[in-house]
Amino acid sequence: MKITECVSTIVTVPFSKRYRWRVADSGGITAVIVELRADNGLVGIGESPCDFPPAEAFKALIDASASAIAGEDPFDHERIYKKLLGHHGLYYDRVFAGLALSGLDLAIWDLMGKAVGQPLYKLIGGGFYALVPFVCIVPAEEPEAMAESARKAVSEGCRTLYLKYCDDEDDLIARLEAIRGAVGPRARIRVDFNQALSPGFAVKFISKELERFDLEAVEQPCGEEDLDGMRHIRESISIPVIADESAKTFYHAFNAIRAQAADIIQVDHYTSDGIWGARKVSGMAEAAGLPVVFHSLGELGLNYMKTVHLGAATPNATLDHQTLYDYNSDDVILGGLLKFDRWRMSPPSKPGLGVDLDKNKIEQYAALYRAHGGLYVTQSSSLAGSGSSIPLISARTSRSWTGDGVQSSVRPNASSAPVPEK
């Protein structure tokens, strides 16, 4: 089997509710859908998330890489991916290259699964977990509204609630008080700081104000490069620390593990060199005695199923994984939106990813992108700089991520893309 053709299409799918967090106020997902055709008639499909504008840059890297994989056997995956990184990813930012190439990577794995008639998880270690659990990322609203969202999710079977810190510690405390009061002591709660604090202030704030909420974990409290700071925080508080941005790539994850900077490694299966890279990062964490969780950037059905397959096949994936899938208003796969089973999902038994593209939906949401521009998970936030009394890391505050510098790279009418009410 040889790869003969690569087709890429940019789509934008609105959310059914706003996703608000420290650096963004997003109304949907923009992604590049990849179709790899082989000489035996099989088609592998993949999805590259466009985390930031312009989506055309992601598509350009995918299209430029097509010639490098033409004529290749998908089963020579390790060599192909190194070739892609060397020829077309080496001089790009590693995160950008990983995001863009991840759709190609996923399509190659889908081709392999279809060629041997096996689901993806069978190709990467086999089934370890029959059900893969996910968190509920509680929308950033007034405390009472967040408490009601949390109560609903827990009543549906969700085990882990996930909150974003939005540069206002009093607001975070009020939200935690409301949520913990609504769901009781058994529900797990995580708080993601997205690198907001310096290590000393993180220790003071978390130990003094947050330990009473019996949090499952805090995520990335200080800057991604500050591994000494991450280790200091981890050793100074009683709540486990998750490394996210500090473990963004294959090499970052190695350094974070070696520095003992985290109790949990959040694996980004886009920027960590795709599926095989994510398995390698998980293996490094397992050797260090650490659990892993898989990261979400906002997924359509292809990438969501990628997470399910990885979660099912990874022994130390013992905690609930991130997802924004419940924010989606629609999907580009046949059958429409996938359904949670008490906030869990079983890996499909069909070959490859186990889902197929809906050509009509692809055209519908490609037309939406052409007409209105993209919707990005890092789109400008109305929550920026909302009132912190804790000194933030100036290079990490939302003020430095938003404003004209980001907006100028978004199509002028991008914000006019319709976002259905839930």
- Here the CATH number for the domain that contains residue 159 is 3.20.20.120
pLDDT band with cut points at 50, 70 and 90 for residue 414: very low
Q: Tell whether 191 is covered by a domain.
A: yes
201/347 same-domain check:
yes
Task: Indicate the pTM of the whole model.
Answer: 0.89
Q: Are residues 42 and 162 in the same domain?
A: no
How confident is residue 380, by pLDDT bands cut at 50, 70 and 90? Answer: low
Q: How confident is the model at residue 23 (pLDDT cuts 50, 70, 90)?
A: confident
| Burial bucket for residue 25 (CB in 10 Å: 0-12, 13-18, 19+) | middle
- The CA-based diameter of the chain, rounded to the nearest angstrom, is 62
- Tokens matching residue 234: 């981890």
- Both 163 and 240 in a single domain? yes
Close Cβ partners of 4 (under 8 Å, ≥ 6 residues apart): 37, 38, 39, 70, 71
Residue 93: its pLDDT value, please?
Answer: 76
Domain limit, last residue, from 338, 357, 376: 357
The tens digit of pLDDT for each residue in 267-296 reads 999 999 899 999 999 999 999 999 999 999
Q: Are residues 176 and 158 in the same domain?
A: yes
83 lies in a domain? yes
- Spacing of C-alpha 102 from chain mean position: 12
Among positive and negative, which fits the CA dihedral 345, 347, 353, 356?
A: negative
Same domain, 53 and 162: no
Residue 161 lies in a domain: yes
| Assigned domain for 219 exists | yes
Work out the pLDDT band at 87, boundaries 50, 70, 90. Answer: low
Kindly report the CATH number assigned to the domain that includes residue 78: 3.30.390.10
> Looking at the domain assignment, is residue 75 inside a domain?
yes
Tell me what the pLDDT averaged over the chain comes to. Answer: 89
Q: What is the pLDDT of residue 92?
A: 64
pLDDT in tens, 30-66: 999 999 999 999 999 999 999 999 999 999 999 998 8
pLDDT of 134 above 70: yes
**Closest to 276 (Cα-Cα) out of 318, 313, 301, 323:** 313
Single out the residue of 340, 278, 21 nearest to residue 162, CA to CA. Answer: 21
Q: Give 215-233 pLDDT, tens digit per residue.
A: 999 999 999 999 999 999 9
Write out pLDDT tens, residues 341-356.
999 999 999 999 999 9
Q: How confident is the model at residue 211 (pLDDT cuts 50, 70, 90)?
A: very high
Return d(Cα 59, Cα 9) in angstroms, integer.
8
Calculate helix-pair angle for 94-116, 77-84, nearest 10 degrees.
160
**Tens digits of residue pLDDT in 298-355:** 999 999 999 999 999 999 999 999 999 999 999 999 999 999 999 999 999 999 999 9
Is the model's pLDDT at 413 over the cut of 60?
no
Q: Where in the sequence is the domain holding 80, given as residue range(s)? A: 3-120+361-403
What is the spatial distance between Cα 78 and Cα 39, in angstroms, rounded to a whole number? 20
185 and 330 assigned to the same domain: yes
What secondary structure does DSSP assign to 285-320, as a single string? HHHTT--EEE--S---HHHHHHHHHHHHH-TT--SP
Band the pLDDT of 91: cuts 50, 70, 90. low
**Structural domain ending residue among the three candidates 357, 382, 411:** 357
**pLDDT range class, residue 82, cuts 50, 70, 90:** confident
Whether residue 314 is contained in a domain is answered as yes
Return the pLDDT at 167: 86
Q: Where a domain ends, among 357, 388, 411?
A: 357
**Residue 150 DSSP label:** H
Please name every residue paired with 119 in a beta bridge, in sequence order, or none if there are none.
352
> Are 32 and 98 contained in the same domain?
yes
pLDDT(86) > 80: no
Same domain, 194 and 324: yes
Please check the confidence at residue 394 and state whether its pLDDT lies above 70: no
Nearest-angstrom CA–CA distance, 194 and 141? 18
Estimate to the nearest angstrom the gap between the alpha carbon of 291 and the chain centroid: 17
Same-domain status, 13 and 98: yes
Asked if the structure places residue 414 within a domain, the reply is no
Residues 109 and 58 in one domain: yes
43 is a domain residue: yes
How many domains, the chain?
A: 2
Q: Are residues 374 and 251 in the same domain?
A: no
pLDDT value of position 158: 98
Q: Are 238 and 373 members of one domain?
A: no
The strand order across the sheet containing 24-38 reads: 3-21, 24-38, 43-49
Q: What is the pLDDT of residue 120?
A: 98
User: How many whole angstroms separate alpha carbon 315 and alpha carbon 302?
Assistant: 22
* Rounded Cα gap, residues 129 and 144, in angstroms: 35
